[in-house]
Amino acid sequence: MTNDLEQPTIVVSLGTDHHKFDRLVDWIEEWLSLAKHPPACLIQHGASRQPVLAAARDRMPRPELLLLYENATVVVVQGGPGSILDARSVGHIPIAVPRRPELHEVVDGHQIAFTRTMAKAGEAIAAESPQELFRALDAALLHPESVRTPPRTSHPEIAGQKLQDELEHLAGSHTGPIALRRLRQVMTRH
């Protein structure tokens, strides 16, 4: 962590995508403006507008961001897989706000689907409206232990076995051969 940056209570990361995500900056700043005693907040804003009510960094090295996450009370991230999994890797259940393609914040709806999947699995808290974000922030600050868990570590051997099991199941189904041919076509193009 750089010496000029104190540890914030809330760390928000919008990632480094070239698409703007001003909507999340606006929501965080609205929540801060309504708070009786707003906590210290840092927004890593990337290409989005720089916040006024929070400390701001456009980009930072990943190890520095992970250290900020680790020591924060609350982590808020865009709904991208890398952002959610980075927060999980240091023991945070992040509040995740997915970017929306119809608002030109991302090219497709993968963040919506991924955020919802991770929320169902207890790996994130989905916030798709300002009201949901405000409730999640209030709850996380009131009960910070509710957004902390042991760090999530990856287990490639388990993932590999799950993939193998799924492919074997697919091969045995009536649509399996078609799906496997399509998968083979996609993989050989790249």
The neighbour count for residue 91, using CB atoms within 10 Å, is 15
Helix count and strand count (H, E) for the chain: 7, 6
pTM of the model: 0.80
Give the pLDDT band of residue 1 (cuts 50, 70, 90): very low
Checking if the pLDDT of 4 tops 90, the result is no
Range 128-132, long-range pairs (CB < 8 A, 24+ positions):
128/97, 128/98, 130/27, 130/30, 130/31
Please tell me what DSSP assigns to residue 147.
Answer: G
pLDDT given at position 3: 43
Report the share of the chain in percent with pLDDT over 70: 82
The tens digit of pLDDT for each residue in 82-91 reads 999 999 999 9
The tens digit of pLDDT for each residue in 159-181 reads 677 777 776 766 676 666 666 66
pLDDT given at position 157: 74
Checking if the pLDDT of 137 tops 70, the result is yes
* Tokens describing residue 36: 């009786």
Rounded-to-integer distance, Cα 153 and Cα 91, Å:
10
